[in-house]
Amino acid sequence: MFNVGDKVVYPMHGAGTICSIDEKNILGETHYYYTLLMPGEVKVMIPTDKAEEVGVRNVIDKQSAEKVFSVFEQNETDMDKNWNKRYRDNMDKMKSGDIYEVADVVRNLSFKQKEKGLSTGEKKMLNNAKQILVSELVLAEHASQNEVENIIESKINTSFNTFKTEDIVKENIVKKFIPFDGTGNGTSNL
């Protein structure tokens, strides 16, 4: 059971604060609800008896937040080439409520955006994943939204430059110095 004032995470919505526990009479039955104040001053009501079942959990601590930030310092994980399958896999990670899985989605989609760009659906998913992630890290780090966003962007840019720029340079060198047009004559139509 959570208490008023607890900082909690509601998957797919982000982190918020329990501002009250309300009693409602519905069809003659008494039900209790957590009223959560979410980012953007949005209030969400969740039945207290279903909270853990739907993934409500306490906000991570500062030590766990540091581990989340370290996810951005790693290379991307393998993602399916098929857009539809990749989208479903990422959505499952986000629905899990696991902050490390959400960080993985943010890093992977950020890398993909830098490499090739994203479809409209994946751009929306990236923005949603960032909002969920940032809302929790702000509470865990006792930092501002801008500070957390800047840390994430900085770490993603550094890891992208470390892991991906080298691959892009190698790919371009191969195309430039070993042209191949498929006919065996060594000419290129680049």
Residue 170 pLDDT greater than 90, yes or no: no
- What 3-state DSSP class applies to 12? coil
- What 3-state DSSP class applies to 62? helix
pLDDT one-digit tens code per residue, 68-106: 999 999 999 999 888 899 999 999 999 998 999 999 999
Q: Tell me the CA distances in angstroms from 160 to 114, 117, 147, 149, 152, one per residue in order.
A: 8, 14, 20, 16, 12
Q: Which residue is associated with the tokens 């209790």?
A: 32
Top pLDDT among 48 and 174 is at 48
Q: What residues form DSSP beta bridges with 47?
A: 33
Q: 165 φ, ψ to 5°?
A: -60, -40
The percent of residues in the chain predicted with pLDDT above 70, rounded, is 87
Can you list the domains of the chain with their CATH numbers? 7-58 (2.40.10.170), 62-172 (1.20.58.1290)
pLDDT one-digit tens code per residue, 31-65: 999 999 998 889 999 999 999 998 899 999 999 99
Separation of alpha carbons 23 and 47, rounded Å: 10
Separation of alpha carbons 15 and 22, rounded Å: 19
Q: What is the mean pLDDT of residues 12-24?
A: 94
